[in-house]
Amino acid sequence: MDFGLMFPDIRDKQETTLKQCQAVMLRMFKIFDFLCKKYNIKYFLTGGSLIGAVRHQGFIPWDDDLDIGMTRAEFDKFLELVVPELPNDIFFQSTDTDKYYPQLDFVDARLRDKYSSYTKIGTPNNKCHEGLMLDIFIFDRAFLPSNFLIITQNIVLKKIFGKKRASILKWLEKKFSWAFIYCSNYMQSYGFLKLGTYIRPDEFEELLRVKFEDSEALIPKGYDSYLKRQYNDYMKLPPVEKRKSPHNVIPDPFKPCEHSEILFWNDRK
């Protein structure tokens, strides 16, 4: 499958660095979406990317990453079927593929562009791959009815079981077929207590395919209640001074990071 022909890399055709970075992420997303559609794998945009799809029909204009959610069962299918078919210029990052990736980081896995990099402002970069990215959040069944209890559960599982946390959650899911809500590994800090960062089964049982830039993406049918729980009036633009990336990084679409899984833009065919 020639992804170079199907989804050409047009980062060098864009006028600004941010647009170049968004072109990189959009291409990765198109490949991700194509392969998920091929294997009937369900995902949905989440976080700022979901707001972008609903409010802007694409990226939030100042955003420099892309957020995707899927259940544990769908992620297992993704690992088996999609990851082996990713093109050579995309690195699938997890604790299994990148020994420097922080164990049980807030983001379970990422797709990384091999030609590019983020440079952290004020702190040294990790040794892990730092290419431009698509974040993949795994939403596990939560058997506890509040953010406080879910965060406590995640902290305990992380401390006691480490990388085996996923196995424990899978075991719980087999033992108990019901679930109050689904939540992602992102909820590992009590700083998230004020955010309703969980999603109810009825909110994502049905997915909608909507416009995203010059492509399409899946979003939960219940996106309105899900986003209002987290962001209140999510359709209202923030003040001008807050219209900037929250990630405290400088992205570079043409300079790779210092990981072993990199490529150089000038060497491409």
Quote the CA–CA distance of 202 and 29 in Å, as a whole number. 25
Write the pLDDT tens digit of every residue in 235-260: 999 999 988 887 888 999 999 999 99
Work out the angle at residue 102's Cα, subtended by the Cα atoms of residues 71 and 142, and round it to the nearest 5 degrees. Answer: 30
Using DSSP, state whether 68 is helix, strand or coil: strand
pTM of the model: 0.90
What is the Rg, in whole angstroms, of the alpha carbon atoms belonging to the chain? 18
Using DSSP, state whether 120 is helix, strand or coil: strand
Quote the CA–CA distance of 179 and 199 in Å, as a whole number. 11
- Residues 6 or more apart whose CB falls under 8 angstroms from that of 126 comprise 100, 102
Residues 29 and 132: beta-carbon distance below 8 Å: no
Which of these, 204, 208, 227, 154, lies nearest to 184 by C-alpha position?
A: 154
Write the pLDDT tens digit of every residue in 33-88: 999 999 999 999 999 999 999 999 999 999 998 999 999 899 999 999 999 999 99
CB count, 10 Å around CB of 21? 24
Write the pLDDT tens digit of every residue in 89-144: 999 999 899 999 986 667 889 999 999 999 988 777 789 999 999 999 988 887 77
Q: Which domains does the chain have, with CATH numbers?
A: 3-140+200-267 (3.30.460)
Quote the CA–CA distance of 139 and 79 in Å, as a whole number. 15
